[in-house]
Amino acid sequence: SRYQLSRAVWRQHYGRKTDNRKNPKQATQLAILHIMWLQNQYIKSNERKPSAAQLYAMWQLGFEGFKRHHMLLCYQILCSQGYLICKK
């Protein structure tokens, strides 16, 4: 959508109420709410605040997608540094 808010994000925070994602005022409110939710999810998992780059990735991938991507990246780094023996 024009404001990069998916229907799923709208429903996550507002349920099945009327979809007003394209209303600039409501889209801004939803964006703020969703960023706060993403930050809180990250803090619960990592006990620290996310960086701006991590927030951007969470916004693009969703929190669960970010976690999967982050775990894969960590695994690849550990393998490349020789901390894990990994199949190629």
Q: What is the pLDDT of residue 43?
A: 94
Q: How far apart are CA 25 and CA 39, in angstroms?
A: 21
pTM above 0.85, yes or no: no
| Residues 6+ positions from 24 with CB-CB distance below 8 Å | 3
Please tell me the chain's helix, strand, coil percentages from 3-state DSSP, rounded to the nearest 5: 65, 0, 35
CA-based end-to-end distance of the chain: 40
Q: pLDDT tens digits, residue range 56-67? A: 888 888 888 888
Whether residue 37 is predicted with pLDDT greater than 90 in this model: the reply is yes
* Confidence class for position 2, pLDDT limits 50, 70, 90: very low
Report in angstroms the alpha-carbon separations of 68 from 38, 51, 75, 81. Answer: 15, 17, 11, 20
